[in-house]
């Protein structure tokens, strides 16, 4: 009975065939698409933000030029060029850029959450008089009379379906108070760090 593994040229097996680690065409296409998308994300950011991203200057310049082009076809061509420049980056450069973009997204989420918290607090001020007392306890520098007048005006706006001018002004006041509180906390943290450094110096 003939051996099915034996051919005219001996054993036919892939055992001794060389192995290639080259990426497949579909994998290369996915990587190109991902880099093009990353370039698009950078183009859509503010110029000052892009200038702070760690990347080669030629890649940054291509992105900044693309941001300035208003013509649809011209922008499309420049966007293709941005994608081409993105493909010249090595893995470490790509990882660093992606890390920066991810940090932006994280910041955006926290900013959105903070904004929603301020909106809820504003609605509470309009619905519950005790909320103003709580706010006064947290922020002694608050101009209570001004805010009380705005709350009254905002309630009137809602009752009469008027433009929410006072409603928006209350949000701005809460936002400013939050900024002041954040800055004060940062100053306290800096002072604490300095005190710790002084203690360490004294110990030495």
Indicate the domain borders of the chain.
25-89, 111-194
DSSP, collapsed to helix, strand or coil, labels residue 10 as strand
User: Per-residue confidence at 203, pLDDT binned at 50, 70, 90?
Assistant: low
- Does the global pTM surpass 0.85? no
Q: Which CATH architecture has domain 111-194?
A: Orthogonal Bundle (1.10)
Instruction: Work out whether the CA dihedral 54, 58, 60, 63 comes out positive or negative.
Output: negative
Instruction: Give the tens place of pLDDT for each residue, 91-131.
Output: 999 999 988 888 887 766 777 788 889 999 999 999 999 99
pLDDT at residue number 122: 93
Helix count and strand count (H, E) for the chain: 8, 2
Nearest to 169 by CA among 204, 114, 130, 118: 118
Bridge partners of 7, per DSSP, are 10
Taking the C-alpha atoms of residue 49 and residue 198, their distance in angstroms, rounded to an integer, is 37
Residue 24 vs residue 10, higher pLDDT: 24
């Amino acid at each position: 009975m003939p051996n099915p593994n034996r051919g005219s040229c001996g054993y036919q097996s892939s055992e001794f065939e060389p192995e290639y680690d080259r990426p497949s065409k579909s994998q290369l296409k996915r990587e190109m698409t991902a880099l093009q998308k990353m370039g698009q994300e950078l183009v859509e950011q503010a110029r000052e933000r892009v200038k702070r991203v760690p990347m080669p200057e030629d890649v940054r310049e291509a992105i900044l030029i693309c941001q300035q082009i208003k013509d649809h076809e011209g922008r499309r061509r420049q966007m293709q060029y941005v994608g081409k420049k993105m493909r010249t980056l090595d893995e470490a450069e790509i990882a660093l850029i992606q890390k920066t973009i991810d940090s932006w997204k994280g910041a955006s989420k926290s900013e959105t959450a903070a904004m929603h918290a301020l909106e809820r607090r504003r609605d509470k001020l309009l619905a519950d008089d005790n909320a103003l007392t709580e706010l006064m306890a947290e922020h002694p520098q608050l101009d209570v009379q001004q805010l009380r007048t705005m709350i009254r005006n905002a309630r009137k706006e809602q009752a009469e379906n008027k433009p929410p001018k006072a409603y928006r002004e209350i949000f701005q006041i809460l936002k400013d108070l939050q900024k002041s509180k954040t800055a004060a906390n940062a100053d306290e943290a800096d002072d604490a760090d300095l005190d710790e450094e002084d203690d360490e110096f004294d110990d030495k």
